[in-house]
Amino acid sequence: MNPSPRAPIIDSSPALLAQGYGWLPGRWQRTDGPVVRARLMGHHAVALRGPQAVRFFYDERHVERRTALPGPVLSTLFGHGAVHTLDGQAHRVRKDMFLSQLTGPEAVAGLVDSVAAVWDETVGSWPGRPGVVLFDEASRILTSGVCRWAGVPLDDTAAVARDMVAMVDGFASPGPRHWRARRARAHSEAWLERLVEDIREGTAVAPAGSALDAIVRHRDPGGQVLDARTAAVELLNVIRPTVAVCWFVAFAGHALHHRPEVRERLREGDPAYDVAFAHELRRFYPFAPFLGGRAVTDLRWREEPIPAGTLVLLDLYGQNHDPGLWEEPYAFDPPRFLGRPPLRDELVPQGGGDRAAGHRCPGEDVTVALLAALAPRLARLDYDVPVQDLRIPLTRMPARVRSGFVMGAVRVPTSARDPQRAAP
């Protein structure tokens, strides 16, 4: 199969950097067919979206992820040798390790309870401060909570939180943010590599049953334990994504400020609404723009040829705002998910596909549960919102509230100190 004659000659990489999340949706608006064709970093690329496209993308007979992740992304976000770089049996065995720690009611509840406890301990220090930057505070709370749950000792929570944020903040951007992300990864991997070595040498202990213990003891298909650096990489792939929920916590502050009626609903203590809010937050606000893989053989998608080796993009942001899937996709409307949980391949802020067999994020349930626990706690606080820059530029990847969402004159009502008392 030869490349489509419609494959562009001009590379779209500069346009992607300039337009950010709007790049692929803009291309869809100018395309009549079922795919968008582009050239990225010198490679022919084909973009797909929609639930059927999600299933096509995650079928390992069609697309592989191992060869598609650029070196700069591995050196910042995921880490070299991470589960994201594997396919087939090697991927499934490594993925099972994460699933055992991050899925199931008990595992999710344990991590959420740990983070929520740190939140409840922390908010008491907010009154009297001239301003509280929600993004920064949430990053430290999440860092403390996930490390406490995972069995990872912390000497400097703020420093670790800064490194976790830097890795996420710099993966999709050239320049200073990217180099900060590289430094943060190198520093973090070295820290956790030393911890793994200490445990194996008997000078430190991993709590039995903890994520730290599971990763230190994990064996890949060949029966070998992970080398200390790869174990450190995978520990970061538990800690870093959990800390990245601070993006959504700041988005929650943004949503509650602009939609007081949503804040009032969250104060009522309705678990179903809390989960619906978490789903809508992840659908509406920008996080990952798209995912990439490589065609493993000559393919066809809705009669469109996709030659072997083509870069295949799954348009996450575009799908989450597709009017063919969502009524009024640019309206923030949590009730759209009341009584109607999102279908597996419909809502894809962190990717799609089968969580057990494919590359779907194993911590997705944790993300939803964390937001469903923290958003009502935020809603029950009383605070002022001083003048600040609340814009969320879609040209920045990953997008974030520019000010971090600053809260002034924070007051902690009794119901916020004891969330159980807030339930009607």
DSSP conformation class of 85: G
Alpha-carbon radius of gyration of the chain: 21
Contact 286, 280 (CB under 8 A): no
Contact 65, 87 (CB under 8 A): yes
Cα–Cα nearest to 349, from 235, 256, 262, 247: 247
pLDDT tens by residue, 235-268: 999 999 999 999 999 999 999 999 999 999 999 9
Banded pLDDT at 93 (limits 50, 70, 90): confident
Give the pLDDT mean for 185-206: 96
Contact 164, 156 (CB under 8 A): no
User: pLDDT: is 372 or 31 the higher one?
Assistant: 372
Contact 231, 199 (CB under 8 A): no
- Edge-to-edge strand list for the sheet holding 406-411: 132-133, 406-411, 382-384
pLDDT at residue 361, as a whole number: 59
The pLDDT > 90 percentage for the chain reads: 72
Angle 183-95-201 from CA coordinates, rounded to 5°: 60
Give the pLDDT mean for 116-131: 96
> What Cα–Cα distance (Å) separates residue 333 from each residue in 158, 269, 329, 376?
34, 18, 9, 16
3-state DSSP call for residue 200? helix
Contact 287, 247 (CB under 8 A): yes
Q: Which helix (H) or strand (E) holds 368?
A: helix 364-380
pLDDT at residue 89, as a whole number: 84
Answer whether residue 64 shows pLDDT above 60.
yes
pLDDT at residue 190, as a whole number: 96
- Of the listed ranges 179-188, 283-292, 413-422, the least confidently predicted one is 413-422
In this prediction the pTM is: 0.92
Answer whether residue 423 shows pLDDT above 50.
no
Maximal C-alpha separation, the chain: 67
3-state DSSP call for residue 38? strand
The pLDDT > 70 percentage for the chain reads: 91
- Edge-to-edge strand list for the sheet holding 36-40: 36-40, 43-48, 311-315, 290-295, 63-64
Answer whether residue 109 shows pLDDT above 50.
yes
Is domain 13-422 classified as CATH 3.40.50.1400?
no
Cα–Cα nearest to 352, from 400, 288, 409, 415: 288
Distance CA 243, CA 229 (A): 21
Distance CA 370, CA 245 (A): 8
Angle 315-319-324 from CA coordinates, rounded to 5°: 140
Banded pLDDT at 5 (limits 50, 70, 90): very low
